[in-house]
Chain A
Amino acid sequence: GEDVEQSLFLSVREGDSSVINCTYTDSSSTYLYWYKQEPGAGLQLLTYIFSNMDMKQDQRLTVLLNKKDKHLSLRIADTQTGDSAIYFCAESINQAGTALIFGKGTTLSVSS
């Protein structure tokens, strides 16, 4: 079945880079996504990558996709305390239309 795995916690110092990793199972996923959830809020789309791309950069965010290993990563450059949140990786499951399957989320803690 479909499964998306993420490490649960990451702690970094302000100004450092953060790298959040994710593995997924469905090789037919068309898009892969990163969402951010701040306390008491819903999930907010951060960025997405099409499955035929290896990398996508968007300001401080860099997404790397390794289709062979089914590995997705999100790098946040110059991490700020405001980046503290839960980050979810998600894959689209074609068999379910556009339904997304999410990982359990990585809690990023940024200390000053």
Chain B
Amino acid sequence: DSGVTQTPKHLITATGQRVTLRCSPRSGDLSVYWYQQSLDQGLQFLIQYYNGEERAKGNILERFSAQQFPDLHSELNLSSLELGDSALYFCASSNMGSPYGYTFGSGTRLTVV
């Protein structure tokens, strides 16, 4: 167990729907990162939050949004889902400024049908 918890592990939904993925960071970590992993695009950085504030944005679509709550857990909202959004979504957390990189959760596998 890495200490980063992601729920749900699997999600199957229809096109056009909206889903929410949840992440609880490792105890003491203030930064949360969201990544999308697909076969053709590899691991794409979506967005970073630090202590409740958005810190950096990557290749995140306008249909996607995220937030980090006062208890530091984070949610990634995906709306108007398309078949191409099917992927593994990873959350990672870190101690800002640490050289030790991230700690990853085990991911949420989203399948859009």
Taking Cβ atoms with an 8 Å cutoff, the residues of A that contact B are 30-31, 33, 35, 40-45, 48, 50, 88, 90, 96-105
Picked from A42, A98, A102, the residue with its CB within 8 Å of the CB of B107 is A42
How far apart are A22's CB and chain B's nearest CB, in angstroms?
Answer: 12
A100 touches B102 (CB 8 A): yes
Which residues, 62 to 113 on B, are CB-close (under 8 Å) to A? 90, 92, 94, 96-107
B101 touches A97 (CB 8 A): no
Bound: A44/B105 CA distance, A: 9
Picked from A42, A88, A97, the residue with its CB within 8 Å of the CB of B50 is A97
B104 touches A99 (CB 8 A): no
Picked from A30, A42, A103, the residue with its CB within 8 Å of the CB of B2 is A42
Q: What residues of chain B lie closer than 8 Å to A103, measured between beta carbons? A: 42
B58 touches A99 (CB 8 A): yes
* B56 in the interface (beta carbon within 8 A): yes
- Which residue of A has the minimal Cβ distance to B35? A102
B48 touches A90 (CB 8 A): no
B94 touches A41 (CB 8 A): no
25 contacts between A and B (CB under 8 A): A33-B101, A35-B101, A40-B106, A42-B2, A42-B4, A43-B90, A44-B2, A44-B104, A45-B101, A48-B101, A88-B43, A96-B48, A96-B56, A97-B48, A97-B50, A97-B56, A98-B31, A98-B48, A99-B33, A99-B56, A100-B33, A100-B45, A100-B102, A102-B45, A105-B42
